[in-house]
């Protein structure tokens, strides 16, 4: 199930670079980067939610009322928005323009939240304690938790590495803010999706999970 979910996520990223060009004139990842950021974030969000509904990585034995589901969904929306604001602030602290390119920075923050926070919300729900537990040492309780750790870290590291070419005087179109960072985050996310199942399979005999 984990491998299937990751394959679908990888293909969703690939489709965001190919399918829009069939419907949008002059579409390209670099030339119309803000449009691609929106399409990629929306596509990955939809795919992750559908996969969560199908695979149910952390099923609950308790019967949940409709009102509780609505409240949980609204909390997830609030958490996601807060994540976008926090990522936006962190990106600015790391050197992004404060006043100029606000839309570009915020859409990049939304993309990062989609690659990281959205997965936490799908798998763990709006439960900060569960998030802290998963990302603490030996906190993983399932292969889904390990996958969450790897894909999240790869996305953030990819975005960080993507910032290195920006100040260089190469005058390349992909050095315009935030193209290299968003591409770095995307490549990191895809790398995490590929690495996670391989790492889990390689270490399958060493992995032991504490009971809930």
H, E, C per residue of 104-151 = HHHHHHHHHHHHCHHHHHHHHCCCHHHHHHHCCCCCCCCHHHHHHHHH
pLDDT in the model for residue 208: 65
Q: Which residue has the higher pLDDT, 114 or 69?
A: 114
| Confidence at residue 49, expressed as pLDDT on a 0 to 100 scale | 92
Q: Across residues 10-14, what is the average pLDDT?
A: 93
Mean pLDDT, the chain, rounded, equals 88
How many other CB atoms are found less than 10 A from the CB of residue 84?
Answer: 21
Query: Cα(142)–Cα(111) distance, rounded to whole angstroms?
Result: 26
Q: Please tell me the predicted confidence (pLDDT) of residue 212.
A: 47
pLDDT at 172: 82
pLDDT band at 188 (very low <50, low <70, confident <90, very high): very high
pLDDT in tens, 75-87: 999 999 999 999 9
| pLDDT-based confidence at residue 59 (cuts at 50, 70, 90) | low
């Amino acid at each position: 199930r984990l491998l299937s979910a990751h394959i679908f996520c990888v293909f969703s990223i690939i489709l965001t670079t190919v399918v829009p060009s069939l419907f949008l004139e002059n579409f390209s990842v670099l030339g119309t980067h803000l449009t691609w950021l929106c399409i990629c974030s929306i596509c990955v969000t939809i795919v992750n939610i559908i996969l969560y509904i199908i695979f149910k990585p952390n099923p609950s034995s308790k019967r949940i009322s409709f009102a509780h589901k609505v409240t949980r969904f609204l909390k997830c929306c609030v958490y996601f928005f807060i994540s976008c604001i926090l990522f936006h602030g962190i990106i600015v602290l790391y050197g992004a323009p404060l006043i100029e390119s606000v839309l570009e920075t915020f859409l990049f923050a939304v993309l990062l939240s989609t690659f990281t926070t959205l997965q936490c919300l799908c798998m763990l729900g709006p439960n900060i304690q569960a998030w802290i537990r998963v990302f603490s040492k030996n906190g993983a309780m399932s292969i889904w938790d390990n996958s969450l750790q790897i894909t999240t870290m790869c996305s953030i590291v990819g975005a960080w590495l993507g910032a290195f070419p920006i100040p260089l005087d190469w005058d390349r179109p992909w050095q315009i803010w935030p193209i290299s960072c968003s591409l770095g985050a995307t490549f990191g996310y895809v790398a995490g999706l590929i690495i996670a199942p391989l790492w889990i399979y390689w270490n399958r005999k060493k992995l032991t999970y504490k009971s809930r």
